[in-house]
Structure 1
Amino acid sequence: MLALVGVRVEVLGPLRLVVDGVPVDVPGPKRRAVLALLALAEGRVVTVDHLLDALWPSEVPESGRQALHTHVSRLRAHLGTAAARLQTGHDGYRLDVAADELDVAQARALLAKARATTDSDAYALLREAHALWRGPVLADLTDLGPIATAVEACTRLHRDVTDALIAAALASGRGGEILGLATESLAADPLREPAALLLMRALAAAGRPAEALHTAREFRTRLVDETGLDPTPALGELERDIAGGAAGPMPTRTDVLARPTTRLIGRDDEVAALHGLLAHERLVTIAGPGGVGKTSLALEVAGRREASTVLLLAPVTDPAAIPHALAAALNLNVVQGDVLTACVAVLAHRTGLLVIDNCEHLIDAVRDTVEVLLAGCADLRILATSRERLGLAAEYAFRLAPLPLPGPDQDLPDVPSVAVFLERAARARPGPAPTPAELRTVADIVRRLDGMPLAIELAAGRLSTFSLTDLHRRLDRSLDLLGGGRPTADARHRTLRATVEWSYDLLTEDERRLFRQLSVFVDGVDLETAERIGTEMGLRSDPGTALAHLVDTSMIDVAFDGATRYRMLETLRAYGLDRLAEAGEEEAAGERFVRWAVELADWIGTVLATEREPDADTVLRRELPNLRAAWLLARSRGRLDAAAAMVTALYEAMSYRDLVELRGWAEQLADDPAIAAHPKAATVLGTAAEAAYLRGDHPRTERLARAGLERATDDAGRWYCLIPLAWAELARGAYAEVIEHCLAATALARRASEALGGAALASAYAGDADEARALIERVHGGAASPSQRAWIAYVSGEIESRTGDNDIAERHYLTAIELARRSGATFLVGVATVGLLTVRAAAGRVGDALRGYREVIEYFARTGNWTHLWATLRDLAGLLRTLGDQEPAALLVAAAAAAPDAPVAVPPPPVVAGTPVLDRTDVLEVARRAIERNVHALAKDSAPTHAV
């Protein structure tokens, strides 16, 4: 087979073609456009229709196809010995170009690689990426819509590369080398806060703090004057750090509240009114029809307050999942106990605002949740958005009207509804300011759209395809507009639906089909999933191109925060689901969605067992809302095969992570009578047994595991049941049985590291350290994933801790914690931390141990993990006894001894006769006071004394 002749296409500047190392001139704008479009497709087929529409956007001439064929033929001639790279398919053309042969793909790859490597290496990679830009991108071809869109994407990529390069330079001590670049970056976009923050850090790193603070003042003034927005709290925090001489290292992430990427127009009065209401009202609901701008207004209010939490309910379809979603919004992992109670415990100590967005589809459950929050959190303010009131006595309903419409003798650009149209239109088609006649046309359009922000944005977005006159004419013809008096809210909603329908009808059939299918994803998709779904559907055109056009027409939103994500506004998703049902595709789309979830769960389960575990953990947490929706759909349709496949594939995700929801799925499925006769009965019952163990229900663990063993027909089923059975035996101190079950599981050739680790742990607890070391030695080098290596390190720490070798044990525990954190294995982080504190206390590092117990007790209490909290409180009691603090130690031991969910301690600490058994709230208070008292005493004893 002959090797392909080298070809390189460069688009990050003037279009450039290099064949076999020699630059080749490509004359003529249309021929250059064809080359650019084929290159930007990155190896995918570009249909003839797409090329024709791009080259002749107004109307394709009769000779268009022949002209296109001629351009392609001449491009082959320009390619010369590489002509075979330009291939003809049945419906279009494809340029065979690899990622390293296209500069924009090369830049993306370098950026991705830099983000996954160390600061020093990242800096070199990012400098290489930044150097790929040679000037204005495809400047002579931006009058063509698809190329203009690609140029915008290249601009965003250049910004991302520049930001990452500056950050990497600062992190690696090279701030002086990129000071000029940081200055240019802010000058290019003076209203972009990340650029201002980076320049401030660069100036501070260069020893010029006064200039850094001056940059902050200038940016704040400019932002307020030109947009009416205040900067995020990050700017003020950095100013304080610089002023105090502690700007610190570059952060690896930002926890800035999500806010609209464009300024909120025409809502200043509403924002002020809501701030006033929230000063004395505990619950305010922004009510109004879909598309009126409730979410944008709520986020704007939240963004201007010091402490705000946002709970987005659009991706949540199960009422029972609301507490879990709230816990995620609070960055709270609840392992044991009631999730909502844990959330209340956190919010009760905060003075701030909770925004709950999109309540209408879960109105009853939201009402109940809000009632609990208001009762338990005296200082909390709640701002909800919904199409209807929640129906609580404490609720103040704030009705949001559409944007004001233009009246006679008004300055049209200052009218909010017109201003929204003009801003969106400027992004869809940059150009000169509109003429007075064009402004009058815009005013008529927004009147007919009744001032609804979503309808206005959808209509303005069509200017990427039509002239303003064509838009006005088509709008007039396509919408069911209402007249005669002020319309009701329901009428406005019908107008919005007509607007969406009009935009939908302008799509190609392939784009409509893809839009309908993607509406089943409650929390959006990544590009790979969208393209895969489109391919499975048998779209005639390229799925990526169809998706891009859906973004262009505002039918789908795209976010570039970390991984690229495509989502629908909830109004549009609801419309897509309606059309899916009307087309008779609901059943097929649901089956495709469930199949996607099953395959994704299988991929996650497989990759979690490899070195790429952190990647799988990221995907799992990102896709959990979609997996949840697929799980509910599978259960509602009686898809037992799919439900069993999802649950068992996510066994490892459930075992080592505080994802309580997944454990609930497993136990729910185990309770389904139909599972008894299913081929995967043993694996499902074993997975449910693991979930029950992690919940602290050890009798149920044993019942499920033994029932699974009775039904097991293969090694996998037996393994799934033997492991949780061993953990149940471990909790009650039956070490011989633990070793027996773990060694039996080891013989089944599945995750031997976990089984042998369990046998080693039981041997150590039984007092046979030599046997424990021999067992754990058998798995060294046999664990591929970070969490499995963390498990081995944890067990090794437990072995050495039992023999009194505290230094070695501490090193093992620290290794376990680091590996577990890197892989998202939060359960292992917790148990390894408790072991670490035990050896530090035994080594005499009492202060470190007490402060560590303070943190880990608060963590377990916050997450509701009482099984491990009891073990931790028992360890703390032992430390308190060595310090002579007998009374709290006795109270902690007595409470743990009486708790049904406390693991057995061997040997059990003695319970002092007559010691009262406190409830859990009082137990925690005893522990906290004892820690603070002893920390204070240690500090006092170590303070220097002075002679008088």
Structure 2
Amino acid sequence: MGGVDGTVRVEVLGPLRLLVDGAPVEVPGPKRRAALALLALAEGRTVPVDRLVDALWSGGVPDSGRQALHTHVSRLRTLLGPAAERLRTRQDGYRLELATDELDLAEARALLARARVTADPAATLPLLRRAHALWRGPVLADLTEVPPIAVAVADQERLRQEVTDALVARAVEAGDGADVVGLAAAAHAADPLREPAAVLLMRALAASGRPAEALRVGREFRRVLADETGLDPSPALGEVERAVAGGAAGAVGPDPPARPAPATRLIGREEQVGALHRLLAQERLVTVVGPGGVGKTRVALEIAGRDEAPVVLLAPVTDPGTLPHALAAALDLEVSRGDVLAACLALLGDRPGVLVVDNCEHLLAGARDLVEGLLAACPRLAVLATSREPLGLAAEYTYRLAPLPLPEPGGDAAAAASVAVFLERARRARPGPAPGPDELRLVADIVRRLDGLPLAIELAAGRLSGLSLADLHARLDRALDLLGGPRTGDARHRTLRATVEWSYQLLTEDEQRLFRHLALFPDGADLATAEQLAADLGLGGDPGGVLARLVDASLLDADFTGATRYRMLETLRAFGADRLAAAGEEPAAEALLVRWAVGLTGRIRVGLDGADEAAADAALRREIANLRAAWRLARRRGDLDAAASMVVALYEAIAYRDLVELRGWAEELAADPALAAHPRAVAVLGAAAEAAYHRGDTTAAERLVRAGLARDPASADAWYCRMVLAVVALARGEFALTVEQSLVGAALGGEHRECLGIAALAAAYGGDLDRARALDERGTAAAVSPSMRSWAAYVAGEIEGLAGDLTAAEAHYRTALRLARGAGATFLVGVASVGLLAVLARAGRVHEALRGYTRVVDGFARTGNWTHLWTTLRNLADLLRTLGDDRTANLIDAAADRAPDAPAVAGVRPVPPPDGPVPDRTEILRLAREAVGRAVQPGTSGERSASR
């Protein structure tokens, strides 16, 4: 165990920044910067070469892709200088090893995690302030055209929201509410429909002695929520309102027989032991359930030791008839004649105490009868049982024991109980110095991959007697067989596989089949999916009963947050996949998963195109991990029909949602030579063209639609291509072509889609407002889904804005925003926001407009949609120019004029050439944000305009 020379820090919570030995290092070239970002975002995990190549060349991997990647990695090592050894080459990829304090994202997570487990609010404030200060601007804004980075950026925005909420809440609890009112107000302004942000602002205001303002925030939130979504707030808002109105600041005899003695101390289970002690004081029967290896016996023995309770060990017992003898042995009772159980019950009598009955699952019926008899005959006795499934008695309280807590990504690994268990067992296997940061990162990854199961962790640490830590880590893909214990004692604990096998063999054949097939769902399955899978497998009986049995047997975990969902530990998924292959069922099971995905995306397509769009959007977002697995299976199996069906069905999501990954699927499939002869090739090419358009590559978009139309220009699928060709023409200012292609698309795809709205925009931008209104009215009348109604309202806002009726335009834009937000159509939220901000600025509501620009700019930057981002920035430049900030406005316009993905703008006045070079995209975003920040400061022209 050793370290490396040189310090390094990578910062991704803003523009990508690399520091080596404390000094910033320039990382030239977008591909190299993206490679560094992907390696850093992996947080110490190996990134496979194929994944890096696919990400860096998402539009199609060149023949030289692997060599080019190798060159970029080599240059990155040069940039790392004395820290070059941090960038390691592994058999299947590359890994960048960073400590928690060497990656700002990891540092933010660690600080948040520490704050969450610190009881004193005042003590958490410095942690949360440090975490909040780590964000330096738009996150990786120049790299979001790389799909995995775009997905990570969205996750980081959610993390920033969590940090902000925690900071405001803890500040209020610590009596520092006045210090965070501004922060709470900004969070609320950034997302006015998010109730937690409104509640936190109310609490901060109340704690600052401003209860009237707090109540006004609550009333305004109720009004906006009702106007834009038709929903009512949760009871939490009413509770805070009542607390504020009520004046609450911050609202809110013989020697006992020998018991089994554990050989090691119990780590990380203090909370569970305490909870079980409290339960045993109130309940007659408490059964600790959980998967094999989770530590049920060890926790029970800890309680038995503290309470001096006898322990009935059932693991060695195979005959239910000998259970009374096992009880007698635990009580140190010798019965030479007569009824053994009666003698045991007489001994226990009505004395108070606790009895532990361990490992009941393989003798469930007999153990149930034994415990039932004990409870009936011994009125003051409490029984603590352990089992992989409940006993099924009426008096039973089921306590499900979870695996040990895992280290937070980027957090203090040594503080996690799972890591502490590994390190203690490792010291016994191989005494030596304390591990360094590199070793701790390996240990953290090991315990994560072992699901925090204590047995697996102990077995893994024991393997260090013959393996190095790195060797153990590299072989964890064989964990089920690698982690073997001594070849003595209970055979169930010899290997992790044997431990899982023990539970598996207790299942019926039908239960085993469903377990094996569910293992292919990486993010679990909801009840309807699991029941359909059971039906597809032809299982007998009620599928719900089979699922309940798997949950009871601790082979599935039931999550009741929202809709019921069934998930497996990764260790159990690996076992299930192995058994699936051993049974020869893997090809058929994979086909079922792909078929499920095709069916689901088909239903999502219908939902996104109808009135219940919000439910379809939620289903898509909920199942994205499973759909990803099915997509990769379909591609690996060469199932072009399934892949094409999925891409075409998800067209609406590609066009109107921030799920950038789906756009990558479309472009990947369009580049497949086998697509040429496929009957859905035209639709796939249209979807890929839409994806290219959203990342600003209108040239690629036009090439793809031309290829699609060359195949079959009159088919119904040609609608996809006509629509994209129309928006590309619109971006180039070719209004006549836009109208022509839009009307052809409407005839092919139906007037309920967006084609008439696109034609109306072209007519309006071309000066024919009467024709624009007529076209949009046709589209509005036909629109069914909320997103298409939002689109029609947005178009109406554009038309009325051009006509000079700012009041009508604002009303249309707000309608568009309400509908789009409710449907999850994030792209429409962005474009409608741009239109609304322009109208607000023209109406003299400058400060209100300025506050919105940062949110909209960041939104388009996260998804890499520079075509619409340039439009937004041009509008902002016009506003900045009226406020006297000509320098920033001219730089923005100059950059837009030179950008190949910026839409054409008619009648743009010449922009004076900048004094120096035109800033790149990252710099332009920084300049724009700083300009807005200056403009909204009190005393600036923007503030004065807003107060008129």
Q: TM-score, normalised by structure 2?
A: 0.54
Deviation (angstroms), 1:848: 1.4
Contact 1:428 1:461 in 2 (8 A): no
- Residue-by-residue CA offset, 1:191-236 (whole Å, 9 max, x unaligned): xxxxxxxxxxxxxxxxxxxxxxxxxxxxxxxxxxxxxxxxxxxxxx
Mapped to 2, the partners of 1:676 and 1:590 lie a distance apart of 25
Aligned to 1:360: none
Mapped to 1, the partners of 2:872 and 2:756 lie a distance apart of 25
- Name the amino acid aligned to 1:824: G
Mapped to 1, the partners of 2:662 and 2:117 lie a distance apart of 36
Aligned to 1:834: 834
Mapped to 1, the partners of 2:141 and 2:359 lie a distance apart of 41
Contact 1:722 1:741 in 2 (8 A): yes
Contact 2:682 2:712 in 1 (8 A): yes
Aligned to 1:760: 760
Mapped to 2, the partners of 1:674 and 1:652 lie a distance apart of 24
Q: Give the number of equivalent residue pairs.
A: 575
Q: Confirm whether residue 938 of structure 1 aligns to residue 941 of structure 2.
A: yes
Residues 583 and 837 from structure 1, CA distance in 2 versus in 1: closer, same or farther, beyond 3 angstroms? same
Deviation (angstroms), 1:473: 13
Residues 864 and 708 from structure 1, CA distance in 2 versus in 1: closer, same or farther, beyond 3 angstroms? closer
Aligned to 1:920: 921
Residues 552 and 572 from structure 1, CA distance in 2 versus in 1: closer, same or farther, beyond 3 angstroms? same
Equivalent positions of 1:440-839 (< 5 A) are: 441=313, 467=367, 488=463, 490-492=483-485, 495-712=495-712, 715-839=715-839
Percent of aligned positions that are identical: 51
- Residue-by-residue CA offset, 1:402-446 (whole Å, 9 max, x unaligned): xx993489999999999999999824699x99896752527999x
Secondary structure at the counterpart of residue 577 of structure 1: helix
Mapped to 1, the partners of 2:946 and 2:728 lie a distance apart of 47
Mapped to 2, the partners of 1:281 and 1:924 lie a distance apart of 25
- Name the amino acid aligned to 1:742: S
Secondary structure at the counterpart of residue 676 of structure 2: helix
Deviation (angstroms), 1:845: 1.4
Contact 1:675 1:681 in 2 (8 A): yes
Mapped to 1, the partners of 2:314 and 2:507 lie a distance apart of 23
In structure 1, runs of 5+ residues without a counterpart are 1-276, 286-296, 310-329, 355-403, 446-455
Deviation (angstroms), 1:592: 0.7
Which is further off, 705-714 or 412-421? 412-421
Deviation (angstroms), 1:780: 2.5
Aligned to 1:376: none
In structure 2, runs of 5+ residues without a counterpart are 1-97, 119-123, 128-138, 165-258, 291-299, 318-355, 372-384, 390-454, 465-482, 486-492
- Name the amino acid aligned to 1:488: R
Residues 909 and 525 from structure 1, CA distance in 2 versus in 1: closer, same or farther, beyond 3 angstroms? farther
Aligned to 1:426: 286
- Residue-by-residue CA offset, 1:725-764 (whole Å, 9 max, x unaligned): 1111111111101100010111124354411111101111
Aligned to 1:327: none
Mapped to 1, the partners of 2:710 and 2:946 lie a distance apart of 64
Contact 2:388 2:553 in 1 (8 A): no
Aligned to 1:399: none
Mapped to 2, the partners of 1:694 and 1:804 lie a distance apart of 29
Secondary structure at the counterpart of residue 566 of structure 2: strand
Mapped to 2, the partners of 1:620 and 1:474 lie a distance apart of 34
Residues 407 and 609 from structure 1, CA distance in 2 versus in 1: closer, same or farther, beyond 3 angstroms? closer
Mapped to 2, the partners of 1:658 and 1:414 lie a distance apart of 41
Contact 1:689 1:702 in 2 (8 A): yes
Equivalent positions of 1:873-888 (< 5 A) are: 873-888=873-888
Deviation (angstroms), 1:496: 2.6
Deviation (angstroms), 1:347: 6.2
Contact 1:861 1:869 in 2 (8 A): yes
Deviation (angstroms), 1:860: 3.1
- Name the amino acid aligned to 2:367: S
Contact 1:813 1:832 in 2 (8 A): yes
Residues 333 and 531 from structure 1, CA distance in 2 versus in 1: closer, same or farther, beyond 3 angstroms? farther
Contact 1:716 1:750 in 2 (8 A): no
- Residue-by-residue CA offset, 1:504-556 (whole Å, 9 max, x unaligned): 00001110010011111110011111111101111122111100100011000
Contact 1:841 1:849 in 2 (8 A): yes
Mapped to 2, the partners of 1:841 and 1:689 lie a distance apart of 34
Mapped to 1, the partners of 2:126 and 2:545 lie a distance apart of 38
Contact 1:458 1:503 in 2 (8 A): no
Residues 724 and 465 from structure 1, CA distance in 2 versus in 1: closer, same or farther, beyond 3 angstroms? farther
Secondary structure at the counterpart of residue 792 of structure 1: helix
Q: Confirm whether residue 406 of structure 1 aligns to residue 261 of structure 2.
A: yes
- Name the amino acid aligned to 1:578: D
Mapped to 2, the partners of 1:484 and 1:675 lie a distance apart of 49
Mapped to 1, the partners of 2:151 and 2:459 lie a distance apart of 53
Mapped to 2, the partners of 1:474 and 1:800 lie a distance apart of 66
Equivalent positions of 1:356-371 (< 5 A) are: none
Residues 767 and 412 from structure 1, CA distance in 2 versus in 1: closer, same or farther, beyond 3 angstroms? closer
Deviation (angstroms), 1:498: 1.2
Contact 1:756 1:776 in 2 (8 A): yes
Aligned to 2:117: 304
Contact 2:314 2:358 in 1 (8 A): no
Mapped to 1, the partners of 2:821 and 2:803 lie a distance apart of 27
Cα RMSD, aligned residues only:
4.7
- Name the amino acid aligned to 1:890: N
Mapped to 1, the partners of 2:360 and 2:276 lie a distance apart of 6
Residues 465 and 517 from structure 1, CA distance in 2 versus in 1: closer, same or farther, beyond 3 angstroms? farther
- Residue-by-residue CA offset, 1:664-709 (whole Å, 9 max, x unaligned): 0000000000000011111111111111111111011111111111
- Name the amino acid aligned to 2:149: L
Contact 2:664 2:691 in 1 (8 A): yes
- Name the amino acid aligned to 2:520: V
Mapped to 2, the partners of 1:467 and 1:675 lie a distance apart of 61
- Residue-by-residue CA offset, 1:244-303 (whole Å, 9 max, x unaligned): xxxxxxxxxxxxxxxxxxxxxxxxxxxxxxxxx999787999xxxxxxxxxxx9998785
Contact 1:308 1:352 in 2 (8 A): no
Secondary structure at the counterpart of residue 664 of structure 1: helix
Residues 746 and 473 from structure 1, CA distance in 2 versus in 1: closer, same or farther, beyond 3 angstroms? closer
Mapped to 2, the partners of 1:720 and 1:860 lie a distance apart of 23
- Name the amino acid aligned to 1:712: D
- Name the amino acid aligned to 2:932: I
Residues 484 and 615 from structure 1, CA distance in 2 versus in 1: closer, same or farther, beyond 3 angstroms? closer
With CA pairs under 8 Å and 6+ residues apart, which has the higher RCO, 1 or 2? 2
Deviation (angstroms), 1:784: 1.1
Q: TM-score, normalised by structure 1?
A: 0.54
Aligned to 2:41: none
Residues 505 and 331 from structure 1, CA distance in 2 versus in 1: closer, same or farther, beyond 3 angstroms? farther
Residues 838 and 491 from structure 1, CA distance in 2 versus in 1: closer, same or farther, beyond 3 angstroms? same
